[in-house]
């Protein structure tokens, strides 16, 4: 029909509050679903056998390992150690490291480190 306009009825305060509550609930559900369900495990590597440390990392996927500093008394070092590349973020790569364990001074584990460029920067500025 020409000349007539159809207006939607104005939303009353009750309808507005209900719609806002639904949106807030949906956002909360999405945030809960997208976040990890379990907290990352923390472990003292120096109090556990190397095989147990490695098995825990494999089972959990990622673990915070703590161990005492060899240079500073009563000071602990820690980092996040992972089971594989799937635990790293985009732009990171696996790097092999060692941590002290109860049965060895150098237990092999992996951590994620920022990937360095795979080309030589000097070649870019040579010409």
| Rounded CA separation 80/113 (Å) | 10
What are the structure tokens assigned to 56, written together?
């825990």
pLDDT tens for residues 93-126?
A: 999 999 999 999 999 999 999 988 766 655 555 5
* pLDDT band at residue 4 under the 50/70/90 scheme: low
Contact 115, 95 (CB under 8 A): no
Contact 40, 60 (CB under 8 A): yes
Alpha helices, DSSP H, located in the chain: 13-34, 50-60, 121-124
| Rounded CA separation 86/23 (Å) | 33
pLDDT tens for residues 62-100?
A: 999 999 999 999 999 999 999 999 999 999 999 999 999
Q: Does 16 have pLDDT greater than 90?
A: no
Q: Does 51 have pLDDT greater than 90?
A: yes
Q: Does 27 have pLDDT greater than 50?
A: yes
Q: Is 63 exposed, middle or buried (0-12, 13-18, 19+ CB in 10 A)?
A: buried
Q: Is the pTM of this model over 0.75?
A: no
């Amino acid at each position: 029909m020409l000349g007539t306009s159809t207006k939607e009825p104005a939303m009353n305060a009750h309808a507005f509050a209900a719609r806002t509550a639904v949106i807030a609930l949906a956002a909360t559900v999405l945030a809960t679903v997208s976040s990890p369900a379990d907290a990352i495990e923390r472990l003292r590597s120096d109090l556990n056998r190397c095989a147990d440390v490695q098995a825990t990392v494999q089972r959990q996927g990622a673990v915070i390992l703590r161990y005492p500093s060899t240079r500073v008394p009563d000071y602990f070092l820690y980092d996040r150690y992972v089971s594989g590349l799937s635990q790293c973020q985009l732009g990171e790569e696996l790097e092999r490291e060692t941590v002290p364990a109860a049965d060895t001074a150098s237990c092999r584990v992996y951590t994620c480190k920022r990937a360095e460029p795979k080309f030589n920067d000097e070649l870019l500025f040579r010409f």
